Structure 1
Amino acid sequence: MDERDMISSLPDCLIHLIMSFLTAQEAVQTCVLSKRWKNLWTTLPFLDFDLYKFEYGGKSDDSEWGDDELERIKFEKFRDLVSTTLVLREGSDLHTLRVSLDDWKNDVHKYDMIIRSWILYALKHNLQVLNIDFQLVASLPLGVFTCASLVDASLDYPNALNHIKVINLPCLRRLYLHGGKLNQDSVDKLFCGCPVLEFLHLEYCCEESFIINSQSLKYLKVHCVSGRIETKNLMELINTPNLLSFCCEISPETIGRKIVNGHKMLLKMPILSSAHISLDLHYKVKGMLMGLSNVQNLTFSGRGIKDLLENDLLKYPEFSNLKNLNVKDFCLCHHFNLLASFLNHCLILEKLSLEYLGCQCGAQVQVLGKQKSLKIAPFKGKQLKIVEVQFVEHDQDFPRFVKYLQEIARNSSAQINMTRISLSWP
């Protein structure tokens, strides 16, 4: 049997690639493998410091976090590991830095300066990917927003942009911002300072109207959360002429908030290929459908879709490119007529995927003890090839739902495939 160490014979760049799947602590520990590995970690261009995965005293069990003193000791040992690793590195470029503190908050203000020094070190070594998975008490170093080499950034920090005077990230292509509130000034600075930004993921609290205007964006994901019950009269314009993929999720910050009636979202996305729209029951969003008219693949989810379809019912555009439609988490038994009306604006639709989970909205369909029937418009499109349905067993409205399916499919040769699923509750 050949017992040669084949991995150690690989060039440094390939070993570094293998080590990139390890945490920084694990990468440093490879120095004991052989002389060949002794100093490899000092030139590793990928560093992942994860407090949750950090081991000290031979254990990393969550039970060690019960005592505040043990938690403090663990963090300080973690801090020493990060600082020592950076100090002992050779001066080579650092491609990726990820720091995750697993929502650790005990006395974090005491360590702000040392944490900022880690980020500054990375920025001075031609950093390309930065992932900050925690919230600093103090602000992020200003260099994060003027780093000429940065290509990909993920920042878990409330209001990270709102206090920055200058943004100049000429190479940034991907950005993920989590938490906080966005204002128009910060949005304008972002797109002005990131001329090649292609992928943007925003999770923010929407309390004021604003405009997204970008020629470079190709992929946009927006998770908008209402921070106040009285939020109203919001208007968002998203003008992204080169956008290919759009995902929009709108939900309240907490369960039980009142319905927001004034949220208007106008979309200008002429070459959009795919879109996923998820709306909470508490939202009544208007104006969105017109901007999706050129999409080829569309997913609707959430009980708020009913209001979206009702509000824009008389203004439905022709979805002349739509070939695949997926509808889930929407009450198909009581609002199938809305879906049928929408379908008749999708005449080249080839595949329809539905998730039937029974009544999701508590709608009343009984009138004087008799069942109220819905007027279902037969689907006019003749290119529909397949209807895929996932359904739950033992639902009293299911036969009626099947009848609706047959109504919309009778003018086409579509094949209806039914798959039974079971709902498991925690």
Structure 2
Amino acid sequence: MDELGIIEQGVDWRTRLGQDIRDCMINDILFSLQTKLQSTSTTLIDLQKVAARIEERIHTIASDYGDYLRRICLTRGDLDSYDVLLNDCQRQQASIRSSILLHQENKQGDQIVQAKRNTMGTSSSSVLSNQVALNDHKEHSHPYEKDMISKLPNDLVQHIMSFLSMREAVRTSVLSHWWVNQWTFLKSIQLNIYWFHMDREKFSSFLDKLLLSRVQADAPMDTFELKSFAIDRANCWINHAIKHNAKVLKFAEYGKWEPFYLDPNLVELSSRYLETLELTNVALDATIFSQLANSCPALQNMLLTDCLLEVEEISSSSLKNLDIIDCYILKDLSICTPSLVSLCIKNERTDNSSFRNSYLIFATVIIIDASSVSSMELLAMDRQFTFVEKDGGEPMFNNLRNLSLGLWCINNMFSPLRRFVRHSPMLRMVTLRISPLDWKSHLTKEHQEMLISIRDRRGLILYIDWY
């Protein structure tokens, strides 16, 4: 590197890049993160580690020093320009509270106002926060009437509440002394930080106390669904759900924040009960996928949305449905899933976030084994798809009936499409998703004639999906 900080062409830029420069970049990213999150709410997450992970990720995927600087600038620029959602949320909630107060002032009598408070509540977060104390001394709504609800069998109560969302179940606490805490033992846990007006401290405290009360009562769990925002303890909450035999696990990090790092040192994805895993805005590495492949024999459904995949292989002998939507694949990815029935990899992004674009790379997805798949959508624009042929030239996709491909398949006069068709003896329908502009720009008359030839030669149904 010369005195201007420029690394000479042909030199291994990573070797020449000093740690002092990298530390400077990390500090700049850290400052942007602190500004974004606000200083009053940074105690629930180690921002130094977050900044270091961002820099390390960019350092790994950058093609050269200039690309490294460009991606760093993209990340910092997006973080600095970010408007904290909390402010908008607080304004919205203040408006809601004003409307409620105005409505109540127009009512006549204390009983009417009290009834409104009991059925609607001043807000979902206040109801949840008040109930987290598990107050056994709460009075029911009608203290002078006979309490018949408390005499219902426990199994019947749990059956009734299983049809309610957690927000609805909380409100049943006004019905009876005995029902005050029943909602905390639901088999389905669904919590959203939006219900707490993005107050991370209240949300974290509430969830810690809720899970502790369930442990003390040895309450079973079927579904754990959580929408969080920049809280490191989410790793512990996810691990709690796995250890308590959740069959369905859904976790989403706030979309405008850095992808949540699912830490393999804190989360042990080992469960013979887990059947469905849905993750949104989460960073996943090879260790996590190794655990899923080797320690989750019942896993059948996996949905990954807006995730960062720092992994070279997804393999599973049990997985039947795999959806990878709007994800950033940072390495060439191999898929080995012999039991898979449905495979969907597509890109539906409409935003041009520079923060997200800092992770864009061109990666190839290689299908090694998907012999049982019957429906396949390969529509992502920023990557190439291919597959490894079987020995002896046997068809790769014996059960494939519906195939959807994007613009990438027109290369070399539809060579990728022709290859997929040749290895899919049961194929009946092909969908080509393309924009009218791309059709005019990339498809010549020869291309169109070849497409018709592919269709007629196999008697396929060809559908053009314009977007």
For the aligned pair, the TM-score class normalised by the smaller chain equals 0.5 to 0.7
Residue 378 of structure 1: aligned partner: 453
Find the residue that maps to 2:210 and give its secondary structure. helix
For structure 2, the residue ranges without an aligned partner over 5 or more in a row are 1-123, 128-139, 254-259, 391-395
Residue 149 of structure 1: aligned partner: 245
Determine whether 1:188 maps to 2:188.
no
User: How far off is 1:213 after superposition?
Assistant: 1.5
Q: Distance in 2 between matches of 1:308 and 1:373?
A: 9
1:274/1:390 Cα in 2 relative to 1: closer, same or farther (>3 Å)? closer
Determine whether 1:126 maps to 2:215.
no
2:233 to 128, 134, 139: 139
The aligned runs of 1:230-379 (5 Å cut-off) are 234-250=331-347, 254-255=351-352, 260-280=361-381, 283-288=382-387, 293-300=397-404, 302-306=406-410, 310=414, 312=416, 315-316=419-420, 317-327=422-432, 329-331=433-435, 358-360=436-438, 363=441, 374-376=448-450, 378-379=453-454
1:173/1:226 Cα in 2 relative to 1: closer, same or farther (>3 Å)? closer
Q: How many residues align?
A: 303
Report the residue type matching 1:128 in the other structure. D
The CA RMSD over aligned residues, in Å, is: 4.7
Q: Distance in 2 between matches of 1:151 and 1:307?
A: 42
User: Deviations along 1:204-227, whole A, 9 cap, x unmatched?
Assistant: 434634211211111111125238
Q: Distance in 2 between matches of 1:163 and 1:298?
A: 40
1:249/1:380 Cα in 2 relative to 1: closer, same or farther (>3 Å)? closer
The aligned runs of 1:8-47 (5 Å cut-off) are 37=149, 43-44=157-158, 45-46=161-162
Determine whether 1:97 maps to 2:189.
yes
1:264/1:389 Cα in 2 relative to 1: closer, same or farther (>3 Å)? closer
Find the residue that maps to 1:312 and give its secondary structure. helix
The aligned runs of 1:76-95 (5 Å cut-off) are 88-90=180-182, 94-95=186-187
Contact 2:166 2:183 in 1 (8 A): no
Contact 1:206 1:224 in 2 (8 A): no
Q: Distance in 2 between matches of 1:80 and 1:112?
A: 23
The structure with the largest strand share of the pair is 1
Find the residue that maps to 2:437 and give its secondary structure. coil
Find the residue that maps to 1:172 and give its secondary structure. coil
Q: Distance in 2 between matches of 1:179 and 1:248?
A: 16
User: How far off is 1:40 after superposition?
Assistant: 5.9
1:100/1:387 Cα in 2 relative to 1: closer, same or farther (>3 Å)? same
User: How far off is 1:320 after superposition?
Assistant: 0.5
Find the residue that maps to 1:102 and give its secondary structure. helix
Q: Distance in 2 between matches of 1:309 and 1:362?
A: 15
TM-score, structure 1 as length reference: 0.56
Report the residue type matching 1:322 in the other structure. L
User: Deviations along 1:106-152, whole A, 9 cap, x unmatched?
Assistant: 44135412222224444630111111133361322354254243111
Q: Distance in 2 between matches of 1:324 and 1:365?
A: 20
Report the residue type matching 1:137 in the other structure. I
Contact 2:189 2:224 in 1 (8 A): yes
User: How far off is 1:178 after superposition?
Assistant: 1.3
User: Deviations along 1:346-379, whole A, 9 cap, x unmatched?
Assistant: xxxxxxxxxxxx334561779xxxx888543535
1:39/1:159 Cα in 2 relative to 1: closer, same or farther (>3 Å)? farther
1:49 to 148, 166, 183: 166
Q: Distance in 2 between matches of 1:114 and 1:247?
A: 36
User: How far off is 1:37 after superposition?
Assistant: 4.5
User: How far off is 1:312 after superposition?
Assistant: 3.1
Q: Distance in 2 between matches of 1:308 and 1:80?
A: 63
Contact 1:225 1:252 in 2 (8 A): no
1:302/1:286 Cα in 2 relative to 1: closer, same or farther (>3 Å)? closer
User: Percent sequence identity over matched residues?
Assistant: 13
- Pick 1 or 2: higher relative contact order, CA cutoff 8 A, min separation 6: 2
